[in-house]
Amino acid sequence: MPFVDPSSLEPHEPRPGWSGRFFHSDHMTFAYYVIAAGADVHPHEHPNEEVWHVVEGALELTVGAQAGVVRAGEAAIVPAQERHSVRAIEPTRAIVVDHPRRESVAGIPLH
């Protein structure tokens, strides 16, 4: 399927305050998130490289020992196996891309 309309995909709530719509390419997983202000993801790591692109709002990301704010139009890169955490400073929309593909997010199977 070369064309995807994320708004037509079923939303999932992997964490309180996080609504995500997920799809795959052959080698990557895409997550389109709407995130409530104050919603967060605890420090964790996984084998996937991750790119966070903020479309609207602002996120505080901690990657390894570095913390920074990523605002609309900006991106952050999380290397594979790097400990990281995220907190929405305000209501935020973000696109997150993982490589290689993820089979699940927060225990939610992705098909």
- How many Cα atoms occupy the beta-carbon half-sphere of 24 within 13 Å? 12
Q: Does any domain span residue 70?
A: yes
Within a domain: 47: yes
* Total domains present in the chain: 1
For residue 4, tell me if it sits in a domain: no
Residue 68 domain-assigned? yes
Q: Is the pLDDT of residue 1 over 70?
A: no
Predicted model pTM: 0.94
Q: Is residue 94 part of a domain?
A: yes
**CATH classification of the domain holding 28:** 2.60.120.10
Enclosing domain of residue 34: 11-98
The pLDDT tens digits of the residues spanning 16-68 come to 999 999 999 999 999 999 999 999 999 999 999 999 999 999 999 999 999 99
Classify 8 as helix, strand or coil: helix
User: What would the pLDDT profile of 58-97 be if each residue is shown by its tens digit?
Assistant: 999 999 999 999 999 999 999 999 999 999 999 999 999 9
Q: Is residue 53 part of a domain?
A: yes
